[in-house]
Each structure stands twice: as C-alpha cells, then as structure tokens.
Amino acid sequence: MGASAVTIGGVLPGFSAQSYGNILGANERLNVASMGVNSRGKAVGSNFAKQPNCEVLYSCDVDTRASERYIDAIGKIQNKKPKHATDFRKALDDKDVDILIVAAPDHWHAPAAIMACKAGKHVYLEKPASHNPREGELAVAAAQKYDRVVQMGNQRRSWPNVIAAIGELKNGIIGRPYFAKTWYANNRPSIGIGKLAEVPSWLNYDLWQGPAPREAFRDNIVHYNWHWFWNWGTGEALNNGTHFVDLARWGLGVDYPVKVSSNGGRYRYKDDWETPDTQIINMEFSNDTLMTWEGRSCNGRTVEGGAVGVMFYGENGSLEIEGGNSYKVYDLNNKLIKEVTGSRKIGSGNLSDPSQDLDVLHIQNFFDAIRKGTALNSDIVGGHQSTLLVQLGNIALRSGSTLNIDPNNGRIKDNSEAMKYWSRDYEPGWEKVLY
C-alpha cells in the first residue's frame, strides 16, 4: 500500500497536484464537472482534484451555498477555482469537460449518467447505479451505445486487501462458499413530521426534483433525509446495503438471483420516514448459494463486532471482510487462522468521506480505463447487477411477495404487482431524458 501511494498518489516535493499535472502535459489532463457537491460529492470531487493531471472545471449544484463551499475548497487544492453551474447540463455542453461525477440524490443518478453519455462524457457514478431497475438497464445501454466509461463508486472493489480476500475465496481457502451474510447498523434519529415551507432562496427546488414527480417543499427533506422517501431515495438497502451486497455477489461469483424475499418496516419512530428502518433481504442463486442483507438504521448494535461487513460461510470455514481494508479467516471450529489488516483507518461512521486514501485507487482505475482501456473494477454492468439485488429486495417488501427471477437477466417473472415498481412515473417531459 505504501508503494501504491508513491506510484498512484505521489506528488513531487514542492508541487501541488495541479502543478504536477501541468508538468505532465495538458493533453493528458482529464477535466471534471461535479454534480452534487454538498457532502459526499464534496469529498469525491476533492479527491479528484488532488489527483495528478486532473482538474475540476465545474461545480454543479442547485444549492448555491454548497457550491460556494465547494468552489472554495477545490480552489485551494488545485490553485484554480471551478465555475459554478446550477444546472449541470451547462457543463455537459462544454467540450472541454471529459468526466461528470454524479453525487446528487438517487433519483438523479441514472438520468444524469445517461445524459452525460449522450453528451460524450465519461461518468463516475456514486452508488446506487439507479433509482429503479429500468433506469439501471437504460444506464447500461447508454454506456454501451455511446462507448463511454462509467464506473460506479463502490470503492471497495479497488481496495487491495478486499481484492486479496476475494482472491482467497476463489482459491478455496474456506472451500466452496455457499452463504454470504451482509449487514449495516446505525443509530439514526427521527426525521419528525415535516412542515410545508417556503423554498429557501439558496435552493433551486424544481431542478433538485428534476425527473421525479413534484412534491411540495417540506422542511425535513433537503439535504440528507430524501434517502427515506421513495420519490427520491431508495432506503438504507441501497444507501449502504449496495456496498456489501456487491462484495457478497463478487465473492459468491453470481450475477442475477432466482428468488428474492424481504421483510421489514418503519418500526422505531412514527414520522415521515417511508422506507424501512429495519429490513432483511434474502437472495437465492442458481448455483446453490444464498445471500442476506440485514439493515438496522435505528439500532447500532454491531454484528461480528462491526457496524458493517460481510461474512462468507463455506465448506471448511468462514471469511469476514470488515468495514475497512482487512479480512479474517476462521476454521469450522471458530479458530482464527488468518488475519490481514490495512494500515489505513476507515471511519465507517463518516458519512461523506470514510476512506479517502483508499478511494484514490478506484479513481485511478477509472482514469486508466479512460486513458489506456484498462478494465474497470466496477463497470456499469456490475454496478447495475449489485444495485438490482437490493432493488429487488425493496420490490419484494413493497409488493408483499416472494419474487421469482429470471437468472439470465434479473427480470421478475409472472408478478404484475411487483412489476409496478420496476420503473417509475416521471415529471411530464422528463421521460425524453432516458428514452
């Protein structure tokens, strides 16, 4: 990891990342526009700005306050302030922009990625890949049609010890893995009952809603609480479950399931929160493997000593990938037989930037894919497949049914009630963005 820091993130003494990039030559520079810069978007964009031969040209946000903070932060990193654009489509019209970072709310992920592909831009797409399964399919199609590089931000796909752990699984360290348990636990407070309010002067609420059907502004939606409303968010399953369900899918070597079921609800508080705060998702696959996700938004009791993680159970033992860049292997008698730790501390409770140093590896893989044709660690096809698993869990819960799935394409079979959630309604006029 130390060697990686030298070759990937190293900067000559006395030079900033930007000045080093200028030395390497402007023809190699990748120019970036950031869409959504308030929290996680600010962290991701700052990490891009710190990379040699990368420049952030645009700060795109409907919140002028957030954009001002971002512009100031990026200016200090690269010694040049990006331009503000309330509407990210202005940045897409700029021929100098190579990449769009999408870190806006979930309902914007696939539409923005599709628009960027159409405009000839590559996309770094924060998870989840889409708000609903149909949008995920359309994002995959757009990346292929316009031959664009689209990397999903499930950054653990690029962490060295996580890669090593999956390699150990493939090489049979616990025999054949047949069950993967994933989890997330937190102590989120109530969001209360929102009151109708005047839209703040700093917010373009109409553009914030974008393709989603319009709802009146309430004082408990913007910024973070949109996660818990179906119109814009996707709940904890996609907010945090995507990361570890993705690792489980990778480790078990599966793509699409054959059966999905889910139970859960909003149990802790009586407020406006619509998505489950407690949920179990079960996913069965045709190669005789099973995967589960346990999400507890409002009770932070750990599992296996961690707030997040995935445990693989196999014929000869088990392997745990914790929240950080580390893993443990146990035999059938629960004896720890191997432990690999990383030197970088991961702040699992840090909502915006828990692993900046390690995430550099994911960004550099994205750059290499653009410049050299290197295979992506998390392309949009795999990103869609992992996102779809937890989307199917939400659909099973909302439709009150066990879903039978076509393992060839992930489509729901013979269930018209469940298929109502496969796509979504759009604000009139926005359908043309996707189709």
For residues 350 and 94, give the distance between their C-alpha atoms in angstroms, rounded to a whole number. Answer: 34
Q: For residues 172 and 315, state if they share a domain.
A: yes
Measured over all CA atoms, what is the biggest interatomic distance in the chain, rounded to whole angstroms? 64
At residue 1, the pLDDT reads 27
The tokens of 137 are what?
A: 């399919």
E strand or H helix that includes residue 161: helix 160-170
Q: For residues 152 and 233, state if they share a domain.
A: no
At residue 197, the pLDDT reads 98
The SS3 assignment for 303 reads strand
Q: For residues 132 and 209, state if they share a domain.
A: no
At residue 26, the pLDDT reads 47
In a domain, 377, yes or no: no
| Helices 242-252, 160-170: inter-axial angle, 10-degree rounding | 40
Q: Cβ of 80: how many Cβ atoms within 10 Å?
A: 12
Number of domains in the chain: 2
In the predicted structure, residue 27 carries a pLDDT above the cut 70: no
In this structure, the dihedral spanned by the alpha carbons of residues 15, 20, 22 and 24, taken in order and rounded to 10 degrees, is: 150
Q: Cβ of 107: how many Cβ atoms within 10 Å?
A: 27
The SS3 assignment for 10 reads coil
Q: For residues 85 and 169, state if they share a domain.
A: no
Q: For residues 236 and 95, state if they share a domain.
A: no
The string of pLDDT tens digits covering residues 276-313 is: 999 999 999 999 999 999 999 999 999 999 999 999 99
The string of pLDDT tens digits covering residues 210-226 is: 999 999 999 999 999 99
User: What confidence tier does 343 reach under pLDDT thresholds 50, 70, 90?
Assistant: low
Q: For residues 86 and 6, state if they share a domain.
A: yes
At residue 304, the pLDDT reads 95
In the predicted structure, residue 7 carries a pLDDT above the cut 50: no
The string of pLDDT tens digits covering residues 236-261 is: 999 999 999 999 999 999 999 999 99
For residues 387 and 389, give the distance between their C-alpha atoms in angstroms, rounded to a whole number. Answer: 5
The string of pLDDT tens digits covering residues 95-150 is: 999 999 999 999 999 999 999 999 999 999 999 999 999 999 999 999 999 999 99
Please identify which residue in the block is written with the tokens 């445990």. 311
In a domain, 220, yes or no: yes
In the predicted structure, residue 5 carries a pLDDT above the cut 50: no
In a domain, 214, yes or no: yes
User: What confidence tier does 434 reach under pLDDT thresholds 50, 70, 90?
Assistant: confident
The SS3 assignment for 14 reads coil
At residue 345, the pLDDT reads 58
Q: For residues 97 and 166, state if they share a domain.
A: no
Q: Which of 156, 182, 213 is the last residue of a domain?
A: 156
Comparison of pLDDT for 351 and 357, the residue scoring more? 357
The tokens of 393 are what?
A: 């869990």
Q: For residues 127 and 165, state if they share a domain.
A: no
Which residue type, as a one-letter code, is found at position 219?
A: D
Range of the domain at 391: 157-194+205-357+385-434
CA-based torsion, 370, 372, 375, 381: positive or negative:
positive
CATH number of the domain to which 55 belongs = 3.40.50.720
At residue 132, the pLDDT reads 98
For residues 365 and 376, give the distance between their C-alpha atoms in angstroms, rounded to a whole number. Answer: 6
Identify the weakest region by mean pLDDT among 149-158, 344-353, 357-366, 418-427. Answer: 344-353
Comparison of pLDDT for 271 and 344, the residue scoring more? 271
Q: φ and ψ at 355, to 5 degrees?
A: -150, 55
For residues 204 and 221, give the distance between their C-alpha atoms in angstroms, rounded to a whole number. Answer: 14
For residues 373 and 358, give the distance between their C-alpha atoms in angstroms, rounded to a whole number. Answer: 22
The tokens of 44 are what?
A: 């991701």
In a domain, 366, yes or no: no
In a domain, 50, yes or no: yes
The string of pLDDT tens digits covering residues 156-205 is: 999 999 999 999 999 999 999 999 999 999 999 999 999 999 999 999 99
At residue 346, the pLDDT reads 54
Eight-class DSSP state of 191? -
Helices (H) and strands (E) in the chain, counts: 15, 15
In a domain, 369, yes or no: no
Question: Mean pLDDT across the stretch 318-329?
Answer: 96
Distances (CA, A) of 24 to 29, 30, 375: 8, 12, 23
User: What confidence tier does 354 reach under pLDDT thresholds 50, 70, 90?
Assistant: low
For residues 423 and 420, give the distance between their C-alpha atoms in angstroms, rounded to a whole number. Answer: 7
Q: For residues 20 and 118, state if they share a domain.
A: yes
Q: In terms of Cα–Cα distance, which of 99, 96, 54 is closest to 74?
A: 54
CA 37-39-45 angle, 5° bins: 50
In the predicted structure, residue 348 carries a pLDDT above the cut 70: no
In a domain, 82, yes or no: yes
The SS3 assignment for 26 reads helix
User: For the purposes of burial, counting CB atoms within 10 Å of the CB of 353, is it exposed (0-12), middle (13-18) or buried (19 or more)?
Assistant: middle
Q: Where are the alpha helices (DSSP H) in 30-88?
A: 40-49, 64-78
The string of pLDDT tens digits covering residues 369-406 is: 999 999 999 999 999 999 999 999 999 999 999 999 99
The pairing of strands 99-102 and 177-185 is unpaired
Give yes or no for a contact between 102 and 426, defined as CB atoms under 8 angstroms apart. Answer: no
In a domain, 20, yes or no: yes
For residues 426 and 210, give the distance between their C-alpha atoms in angstroms, rounded to a whole number. Answer: 9
The tokens of 390 are what?
A: 């937890």
Q: For residues 172 and 241, state if they share a domain.
A: yes
Q: For residues 317 and 403, state if they share a domain.
A: yes
Q: Cβ of 328: how many Cβ atoms within 10 Å?
A: 19
User: What confidence tier does 19 reach under pLDDT thresholds 50, 70, 90?
Assistant: very low
Is the previous residue joined to 223 through a cis bond, with omega within 30 degrees of 0? yes
CATH number of the domain to which 245 belongs = 3.30.360.10
Q: For residues 97 and 236, state if they share a domain.
A: no
At residue 14, the pLDDT reads 38
CA 64-66-71 angle, 5° bins: 90
* Average pLDDT of every residue of the chain: 92
Is the previous residue joined to 128 through a cis bond, with omega within 30 degrees of 0? yes
CA atoms within 13 A on the CB side of 10: 9
Q: Cβ of 223: how many Cβ atoms within 10 Å?
A: 14
Question: Mean pLDDT across the stretch 33-54?
Answer: 96
